[in-house]
Amino acid sequence: MRVVLDASAAIEIALEREHSKIFLEKVKNSSVVLAPDTFVSEVTNVFWKYKKFQQFTDDVCIAGIEFCINLVDIFVDSKELWREAYLEGIKNNSSPYDMFYLVVARRNVAKILSCDKKLFEIAQAEKLT
């Protein structure tokens, strides 16, 4: 099984939250874990917010970012995805940021792992969950 890991699911795993065990099991059992290259900036931004607003230490944030990045086997170049992500964003009234994950999943016949309710619903409608 191929999976596309979005930033919210990676953060869930890194911080050992409610769904972390389920997501981690799916990551471990997958043949490949994919993400658009935007994943790196999203994860970095989330941990920056944890540092700024929740006083996480730099060490915790850097370790969390590295952990999340290392969950992914293949990063897909967003330059190859942007047009389709943009059009899917219009079609689904959803952020193109999220649609990058949808496009990667569809192109690679993969399942999406996400805590984002709207992305999950769109992915379900396309049988990508």
Q: What is the pLDDT of residues 7-63, one digit of tens each?
A: 999 999 999 999 999 999 999 999 999 999 999 999 999 999 999 999 999 999 999
In angstroms, the CA 59 to CA 3 distance is: 29
DSSP one-letter code for 6? -
pLDDT at position 8 is 97
- What CA–CA distances, in Å, run from 124 to 55, 74, 102? 36, 23, 10
Strands (E), the chain: 2-5, 32-36, 74-76, 111-113
pTM of the model: 0.94
pLDDT at position 100 is 98
Q: Mind listing the pLDDT tens digit for each residue in 76-114?
A: 999 999 999 999 999 999 999 999 999 999 999 999 999
Domains in the chain, CATH or no CATH each: 2-125 (3.40.50.1010)
pLDDT at position 85 is 98
Output the CA angle 118-71-106, nearest 5 degrees: 45
